Amino acid sequence: MIKYLLRRLIQAIPIVFGVTVISYGLMAITPGGPVGALAFNSNLRAADRERLEQRLGVNDPLPVQYLRWLLGDDWMRWDTNDDGLADQAFLISLTDSEGNPLPPGDREGVLRGDFGTSFSQSGRAVLPYVTERIPASLELSISALIVGLVTGIVIGILAAVNQNGWFDQITRVLAVVFDAVPGFFLALLLLLIFASPRSPLSILPMADRCPPYDPMDFEATCPPIHERLDHLLLPTLVLATGGISTYSRYMRTTMLDVVSQDYMRTARSKGLSNRVVWFKHGARNALIPVATFLGPAIAGIWGGAVIIETIFNWPGVGLVATRALGARDYPVVMAVTLFGAVSTIIGYLLSDILYAVIDPRIRFD
């Protein structure tokens, strides 16, 4: 198993590299740019625009920009002359908290742990800006993944046990319906029903991860998760809906295939109860095909979290990605993309490990 995992990790290196190349190219050819997002004055002079592009490093050829992001800029010459730089109001995002101009070079590159500085966050370092949002995203994503897995598997087993019964028919229809409904539409619908002040069922907060607190209380922090389940409920439910629909259908199908196996008839002939036969002998073997969806599920959770976090103003990586895309903040976008790629690869590795955990007959060595 160890050798297999090491081999998969080595194979993941060119995959991540390819993801960064494609993502950087797509981002660079997207209409607009960071200069247009930072310079709100449409009458910005050509010389000032050129100087701003030079300061951001987006005036170089695309391969040079990518190599600077990947390897740093100590291998190339960077023009640091500030003469002729006008209209400082358009360069607010290129100054620190004290208004001092940021140094345009001195980057070590992503391979050495330097993700650069944000274009839209007053020159804030990208890595801490993104990593401090990871706990919020993990909280939401893990909650949605657990709810989706547990609920979907239980519904699938019960639907297979009651094949063609009313529970089976209702869950099959609801699985198709909720799988077809876009997440953003379901989120807005639930907000109107359970969070809108005009709704008689308004019992949940509209958005945010934590209850509001006094902005002057600088020691205030987000309370423990068990004290703010009302804030977590709606975004978790919306994000888990797709997983519930998918897992319930696949679990039902695999359970129906398992029913006809000889070991299931043998278990019944020994006088074992139906609960033991279905959940101990049948469910474990039916989970093997379902485990293959863990990798895609993690990727889907991160992708869906971008929309859900934006709608519910959840302070996670998805919300950061949405704002960075709107501001054409290339360093932040690339950091989030790299984070998503690594998370997806880890998800597929977990799927392979689950194979061996669920079915001891499977060996990777």
Out of 286, 315, 344, a domain closes at 315
Is residue 263 situated within a structural domain? yes
Is residue 320 situated within a structural domain? no
Between CA 21 and CA 63 the distance in angstroms is 9
pLDDT in tens, 196-210: 888 888 888 888 888
Over pLDDT 70: what percentage of the chain?
80
Is residue 189 situated within a structural domain? yes
- Both 253 and 297 in one domain: the answer is yes
Is residue 321 situated within a structural domain? no
Is residue 338 situated within a structural domain? no
pLDDT-derived band at 101 (thresholds 50, 70, 90) equals: very low
Is residue 349 situated within a structural domain? no
pLDDT at residue 279 greater than cutoff 60: yes
* Dihedral (CA of 274, 275, 281, 287) sign: positive
- Both 268 and 142 in one domain: the answer is yes
- Both 283 and 140 in one domain: the answer is yes
The pLDDT of residue 9 is 84
Out of 272, 294, 315, a domain closes at 315
- Both 77 and 153 in one domain: the answer is no
Task: Locate all alpha helices (DSSP H) within 229-329, ordered by sequence.
Answer: 229-259, 262-269, 274-275, 283-291, 294-311, 317-326
Out of 290, 315, 340, a domain closes at 315
pLDDT-derived band at 189 (thresholds 50, 70, 90) equals: very high
pLDDT in tens, 306-350: 889 999 988 889 889 888 888 888 888 889 988 888 888 888 888
Is residue 172 situated within a structural domain? yes
Domain around 82: 2-131
- pLDDT (mean) for 8-19: 87
- Please tell me the total count of domains within the chain: 2
- Both 185 and 142 in one domain: the answer is yes
- Both 307 and 166 in one domain: the answer is yes
Average pLDDT, the chain: 78
The pLDDT of residue 238 is 92
- Both 102 and 237 in one domain: the answer is no
pLDDT in tens, 37-62: 666 555 667 676 677 767 776 777 88
The pLDDT of residue 155 is 92
Contact 304, 177 (CB under 8 A): no
- pLDDT (mean) for 6-32: 85
- Both 237 and 186 in one domain: the answer is yes
The pLDDT of residue 82 is 46
- Both 27 and 85 in one domain: the answer is yes
Exposure string for 65-104, b = 16+ CB within 10 A, e = fewer:
bbbbbbbbbeeeebeeeeeebeeeebbebbeeeeeeeeeb
How many CB atoms lie under 10 A from the CB of residue 164?
Answer: 9
CATH number reported for the structural domain that contains residue 244 in this entry: 1.10.3720
- Both 155 and 295 in one domain: the answer is yes
pLDDT in tens, 283-301: 777 777 777 777 777 777 7
